[in-house]
Amino acid sequence: RGLALHLDLGAGPQRHLHPGLADSLLHNLLHNAIRHNVPGGEIAVHLTPNELTVSNPGPVVSGDPSRFFERFRKHNAASESPGLGLSIVQHICAYYGFALSYDFAPAGALHTLRVQFGPASWGLAAAKVSTPAAARAV
């Protein structure tokens, strides 16, 4: 696809995550950015002590952005993906009390997924999971 990866990895957060869940969180965020990118596009990953953002250009996505984190939600019905990646990210964020949000900037057609480390009450659209046990089942 000819994508460029731009990393801005400053001082990372001091959070202890299970290695498998950390891997799954990063894998699904990056896979989403690759899958929904444009040919020759780029992926920007920015890490600070307070948040992780993954951004990529891409076409406007139809539908309600608040539903992007639902299980089996697909941008393209013909996709071979089961539509679980962002739901898995949401469950991991809920388990650790992180806030997860999505933003689209029409100028530049830029999609951004943001994980804010800290209480979900910090004002971002928090992942909604009824119990931590649900997150462990991911």
Asked whether the beta carbons of 134 and 91 are under 8 A apart, the reply is yes
Over residues 83-119, the pLDDT tens digits come to 677 889 999 999 999 999 988 888 878 989 999 987 5
129 versus 91: the higher-pLDDT residue is 91
Mean pLDDT across the stretch 4-13? 87
Higher pLDDT, 105 or 74: 105
What pLDDT score was predicted for residue 42?
A: 96
What's the CATH code of the domain at 117? 3.30.565.10
Instruction: State the pTM of this model.
Output: 0.74
Q: 99 or 125: which carries more pLDDT confidence?
A: 99
For residue 79, pLDDT beyond 60:
no
Whether the pLDDT of residue 123 is over 60: the answer is: no
Listed residue (12, 9, 56) closest to 32, CA to CA: 56
What whole-number distance in Å separates Cα of residue 56 and Cα of residue 45? 9
Domain count, the chain: 1
pLDDT at position 70: 63
Q: How far apart are CA 5 and CA 101, in angstroms?
A: 21
Beta-strand (E) ranges in 29-73?
Answer: 42-47, 51-57
- 99 - beta bridge partners? 116, 126
**Per-residue pLDDT at 23 exceeds 90:** yes
Predicted local confidence at residue 15, as pLDDT: 77
Domain that holds residue 110: 4-136
The C-alpha angle with vertex 83 and arms to 103 and 65, in degrees rounded to 5, equals 25
pLDDT at 57 over 70: yes
